[in-house]
Amino acid sequence: MRTGRFSFPVKLVEAPPCPVHRGVVPVIGITGGIATGKTALVASLRDLLPGAAFFDADESAHALSEGDAEVRALIAGTFGAEIYSPQGLNRPQLRAIVFADPEKKQALEQILHPRIRRQWTLQAESRRQSAEPFFADIPLLYETGGETLCDRVVVVACSQRIQLQRLMTRSFLDEAAAEQIIAAQMPLAEKIARADQVVWNNGTPEVLAAQAKTLAAEWRQAG
């Protein structure tokens, strides 16, 4: 892993320039823990790099579980037909099941993850001759081995206290439920240790946006 660092007014762990050939677009993975700020970072990057392509694994999972007949049948077969209503997948119920039962969680991942990986891999390869980077926004990037397909990985991180508070606030969870969800994920410290770059998101949206601007400028220069 590349471990170089430099300092500037916002906290960002940096690495040497992305080792890809000029003229070949880099594939940049964006990951982190739940409620650390990945969505906010991606939103800033979309504004700063309007020509770049973005893949959202959560959107892909939603589309597969609602619109793919094979996936719907597999989920219903695993979790029971009642997991779907006329309005669609009962996501709160599914979330409660998978966080309480590791085997059910693994079963859901085996249904979704290979299909999601195939989608973003094909999209990334189709963009290889583009002048702009391809961003893969994938919460479980390391857990699924997706980092091997990336030229660089950016991890969005924050303190445990802030992560817990954000998750409780946004998902209307009590502390015990939020802690259970965080504990079910790969430790954030491990993701930080494996990252090429770390965006530290303990501060305001303006601080996060400043880090996004620095990253976008670096990638433009390296391209």
The per-residue pLDDT for range 193-203, each reduced to its tens digit, is 999 999 999 99
Beta carbons within 8 Å of 147's beta carbon, 6+ residues apart: 29, 141, 153, 194
- Delineate the domains of the chain, giving CATH numbers in brackets: 12-222 (3.40.50.300)
What average pLDDT does this structure show over 143-168? 96
- Mean residue pLDDT across the chain: 88
The per-residue pLDDT for range 68-82, each reduced to its tens digit, is 999 999 999 999 999
Q: Which of 48, 45, 53 is CA-nearest to residue 26?
A: 53
> Which pLDDT band, with edges at 50, 70 and 90, does 166 fall under?
very high
Burial class (CB in 10 A: 0-12, 13-18, 19+), 189: exposed
The per-residue pLDDT for range 1-58, each reduced to its tens digit, is 333 332 333 345 444 444 444 445 689 999 999 999 999 999 999 999 999 999 999 9
The per-residue pLDDT for range 32-41, each reduced to its tens digit, is 999 999 999 9
What average pLDDT does this structure show over 120-143? 92
Specify the pLDDT at position 201.
Answer: 97
